[in-house]
A and B are shown apart, each in its own frame.
Chain A
Amino acid sequence: MDESQHEVIARWERRWVVFGAVMLLCFLALIVFVLATEGAHIVHGGGRLTPAEISQVPLFSNPGAMRLSTGEFQVGIVAQAFSFNPSAIDLPVGAHARFYLTSKDVLHGFMIEKTNVNVEVIPGELAYADYVFTRPGSYHVVCNEYCGINHQDMIGVINVLPVAQYRQKAAAGTAAGQAAPLQAVPGGAEAAAPPAGARPAAPAADGSKVYAASCASCHGPDGQGHPGAFPPLAGHAPALYRAGRGYPIDVVLYGLHGKISVQGKSYDNVMPGWAQLSDADLAAVADSIMHAWGNDSSLPSDYRPYTAQDFASARGRGLSAADVHAERARLGLP
């Protein structure tokens, strides 16, 4: 390489690096500009919140969309394997929504398709992000962080409805994913008081619908479970009833964590508690499981259907998932 060649190369190299650096500076300026003017959708930290504290925070003990007096919506959502609670939410067009998110168990993602809402939902952290829905339609909410064997099924939906339709549904109490009505206080989330006791009695719950929404992702749509990960309920639930009628109630309310054996196969996993569901829903789903997939044939003749009252009176004992595991051992269940 002679000197003149070297000169030419060096000159062009300088130009190239200056060009690259100027481009990068332009990109940076754009990034800062966009963040400053339209950065609301960016994830913000709302401080620490341990999974154990979730049930004490009104946003999450009474999750769902709530219209604030300012006309904005706050939407509390709890992510847990493998569903969002609530998993379907109705909102009106034009809603200024602030999504509050936390996780009960492991890392999850919260991504609303066709928008730029994308949140890493981390247990121990409270996150929030804002979005204004300007177009009606159905938006999938996708968990985009690996959270376990049924991660792919952790999908919710936000239905953005025309305002009139939303108002009509809200007034009739049929809008999906709404927080129990409260006296909303200006100032937002922190000011909202928890509902007294459990949620108001819902219209007669459909147990199979509750099952499909909350249980099927682990225990399977047909109650067969997931080999190696989650036990079947088909052919198994009546044995739990026979061991102790109260035991299934505790499992559903408080979860179960520890090594168990079902139909000769062992499982070492965790089931979250579902205390956030209404007593009526819980009773309906428990009863429906006891009768589904041929389970009814092995129920004892004196079977007493579960009632909302059963679940209401089992609440408030503060059991841990490990306590329920100990209860299981006491009942002689493997």
Chain B
Amino acid sequence: MAVGSIGTTVRAAVAWRPEKRVTGAFLITGLIALLVGALLGPFQAMNYGDVNLYRYLPFLKSYYQGLTLHGVLNALVFTTFFNCGVLIYFPARELETRPSIAWLWASYGVMVFGLVLSGIAIWSNSSTVMYTFYPPLQGSWGFYTGLALVVVGSLMVAFEVVRLRARWRRDNPGKVTPIVTFMSTATMLMWVLASLGIVVEVVVFLIPWSAGWISGVDPQLARTLFWFTGHPIVYFWLLPAYVSWYAFIPKQVGGELSSDTLARMAFVMFMVFSTPVGFHHQFTDPGIPGGWKLVQNILTFFVVIPSLLTAFTVTSSMELGARRKGGRGVLRWIGKLPWGDASFTAQALAMLSFIFGGAGGIVLASFNLNVLVHNTAFIPGHFHITVGTAVTLTFFGMTFWLIPHLTGKRLFSPRLALWSAWTWFVGMMLFAVGMHWQGLLGVPRRAWISNMLPSLQGTYASAAVPQAITMVSGMILFLAVIFYFTVLFGTLFSSRRIEEDSVAIPFPEYGGVHQDRATRALDRLGLWFAVAAAVVCVAYLPTLLHMLTNQVGLPGLRLW
């Protein structure tokens, strides 16, 4: 898979062991975080079935503490670790260029230290503030510092990805960046810009405030800074899945990427339009002018376009593969896809879930529709089929070849792997039905509804049917977790070694990258980064400047 590099070219599979080790560490740490977070999931689902199982978890003080753990571990920790692991490894292998292993281990160390700090803070119930940690609810300094360190570590990895590509370009003048590296770099650059909000919120305001160095924080400002990062972070979670869909899935189904240029265009659009959209989480906030909310509503719709492109390009790439295997008819070719392959099946189901997730996302991004469901159970319903399935199930699918590739161990029970994909998909789709439906009936999100005052019981009686659906989904998802982690640990602890690199990275077959003008223009990632920054300034600066110059600092409160 040489793309023509010189200097630090490394060819022998065995020589990649240092990269494999550090990537493996990122992935396994992320997946263990997911295991802990996901095991709490069924308790959350039971709560939304009006059954309070938290009383049987003596080590957790409340549903809210469990939910904070669930959200932080699954949404922030699992995704960030996984992304950092794959987004440096794939470019390194594609470019056959060695990253700084010491730097990567240092990044990993920073992130693990952050994870431990935050983990202790949540475990001790000092920071039951949810993964959105809106002030004036105040967690401990360790919670905020830990989260900041996880972000800092991920930015260190981003730096190394950008450096890797720059080095390759220097050594290969005039060549267009290979596609996986292009996508990985675009994703990391987007994250660098997007993380600015949360970095300022946490470092400038929340850490000094929780440590007692400053007395007050403005809740409206903090919330706005949070969502500056809070929406693009979902693209940071999603884009590594897109890398797999665009670059690896075509090869896995025996097809080819139907359009290299359009794939690149999708990523450039994500870079530009992912960040200036955070107000669509704040449509019901009083402190943001309606006009700017509408502007960001429109920008959010722009970011739908690259996902529409993706839906088409990825599907057509799969169709090409299926037709080569003799697939016929308008839809019958779908049967020729490799449904016996857990890696493919998991990712195909992930794509399917994203059709519904994306549609729900358009509803939520619509200023006037959003108010009907803002902060209701509709929201967790939505993000469990986007990040919780489209992303997570794709990552599962990737691990089914990636873990054997990295560890040299044979995949433990491909059949159980297939089961884990289907049970996760069915469980999450049911969960989504239950939660979207409850949301439409006015059941709020993040509420310990199974532990309400006796006088209030029956408040959500009209939601009994969707509550039952949610409860059943929690049980199915519990099985899915058991299945998946049995496969994962079965593989890791297996003694059945396979030949080094016998599971190859399914890089796309190149008929040579198109060196046309469009592809060259898209390859100017620095320029697109500047465009993205400019769009963000237009969408955010007027509102943010007003907030920064009119702050109302409020002291922290602990109400749990």
Chain B interface residue count, CB cutoff 8 Å, equals 70
Contacts of A51 in B (CB 8 A): 554
When C-beta atoms are compared, the residue in chain A nearest to B511 turns out to be A1
CB of B64 within 8 A of CB of A105, answer no
Question: Distance (Å) between the CB of B71 and the closest chain A CB?
Answer: 11
CB of B259 within 8 A of CB of A269, answer no
CB of A107 within 8 A of CB of B367, answer no
Q: Within A101-133, which residues are at the interface with B (CB < 8 Å)?
A: 105-107, 109, 111, 113-114, 116-120, 122-128
CB of A155 within 8 A of CB of B456, answer yes
Chain A 135-165 per-residue mask, 1 if CB under 8 angstroms from chain B, else 0: 0000010111111110111010000000000
Known contacts A152-B447, A212-B455; A124 and B290 CB within 8 A of each other: no
Cβ-based interface call for A221 (8 A): yes
When C-beta atoms are compared, the residue in chain B nearest to A218 turns out to be B559
When C-beta atoms are compared, the residue in chain B nearest to A45 turns out to be B286
Known contacts A17-B309, A122-B286, A125-B220; A34 and B368 CB within 8 A of each other: yes
CB of B220 within 8 A of CB of A122, answer yes
CB of A122 within 8 A of CB of B285, answer yes
CB of B258 within 8 A of CB of A42, answer no
Could you say which of B143-151, B178-186, B326-334, B370-378 contacts chain A? B370-378
Cβ-based interface call for A167 (8 A): no
Contacts of B560 in A (CB 8 A): 148-149, 229
Known contacts A45-B286, A152-B451, A155-B456; A122 and B223 CB within 8 A of each other: yes
Question: Distance (Å) between the CB of B448 and the closest chain A CB?
Answer: 4
Cβ-based interface call for A44 (8 A): yes
Contacts of B125 in A (CB 8 A): 228
Which of these, A43, A124, A152, contacts B552 with CB under 8 Å? A124
CA distance A212 to B445 in the complex (A): 25
CB of A270 within 8 A of CB of B550, answer no
When C-beta atoms are compared, the residue in chain A nearest to B323 turns out to be A5
CB of A153 within 8 A of CB of B453, answer yes
Chain A 27-63 per-residue mask, 1 if CB under 8 angstroms from chain B, else 0: 1100110110001011111101011000000000000
Chain B 293-337 per-residue mask, 1 if CB under 8 angstroms from chain A, else 0: 010011001001100110011001000100000000000000000
Which of these, B282, B288, B298, B442, contacts A111 with CB under 8 Å? B442
Could you say which of B129-137, B159-167, B521-529 contacts chain A? B129-137
Which of these, A17, A31, A32, A212, contacts B312 with CB under 8 Å? A17
Chain A interface residue count, CB cutoff 8 Å, equals 71
Cβ-based interface call for B471 (8 A): no
Contacts of B448 in A (CB 8 A): 151-152
Known contacts A42-B371, A124-B554, A152-B448; A216 and B453 CB within 8 A of each other: yes
CA distance A221 to B453 in the complex (A): 8
Contacts of B312 in A (CB 8 A): 12-13, 16-17
CB of A270 within 8 A of CB of B558, answer yes
When C-beta atoms are compared, the residue in chain A nearest to B130 turns out to be A146
Chain B 360-371 per-residue mask, 1 if CB under 8 angstroms from chain A, else 0: 001000111101
Known contacts A9-B258, A35-B294, A228-B61; A153 and B456 CB within 8 A of each other: yes
Contacts of A74 in B (CB 8 A): none
CB of A13 within 8 A of CB of B259, answer yes
Cβ-based interface call for B449 (8 A): yes
Cβ-based interface call for B381 (8 A): no
CB of A5 within 8 A of CB of B320, answer yes
Cβ-based interface call for A191 (8 A): no
CA distance A155 to B442 in the complex (A): 12
When C-beta atoms are compared, the residue in chain B nearest to A149 turns out to be B560
Contacts of B451 in A (CB 8 A): 152
When C-beta atoms are compared, the residue in chain B nearest to A105 turns out to be B557
CB of A31 within 8 A of CB of B366, answer yes
CB of A43 within 8 A of CB of B286, answer yes
Known contacts A13-B313, A144-B445; A269 and B286 CB within 8 A of each other: no
CA distance A142 to B376 in the complex (A): 10
CB of B285 within 8 A of CB of A111, answer no
Kindly list 19 other residue pairs between chains A and B, CB separation below 8 angstroms, not including A42-B290, A118-B371, A221-B454. Answer: A12-B312, A27-B366, A28-B301, A39-B368, A42-B283, A42-B368, A43-B285, A105-B557, A109-B375, A111-B374, A111-B376, A123-B554, A142-B442, A144-B376, A146-B64, A146-B446, A149-B62, A149-B559, A152-B448
The 10 A-B residue pairs with the shortest CB-CB distance, nearest first, are: A148-B559, A127-B286, A144-B444, A124-B552, A144-B375, A113-B442, A45-B286, A20-B308, A152-B447, A149-B560
Q: Could you jot down 24 A-B contacts, CB within 8 Å? A: A16-B308, A17-B308, A17-B312, A20-B308, A27-B366, A28-B301, A42-B367, A44-B290, A51-B554, A107-B137, A107-B223, A119-B284, A120-B286, A122-B220, A122-B286, A122-B287, A124-B552, A128-B286, A144-B376, A147-B137, A149-B128, A151-B448, A269-B557, A270-B558
Residues of B within 8 A of A (CB): 61-62, 64, 125, 128, 130, 134, 136-137, 218-220, 223, 256, 258-259, 262, 282-290, 294, 297-298, 301, 304-305, 308-309, 312-313, 316, 320, 362, 366-369, 371-372, 374-376, 441-442, 444-449, 451-456, 459, 550, 552, 554, 557-560
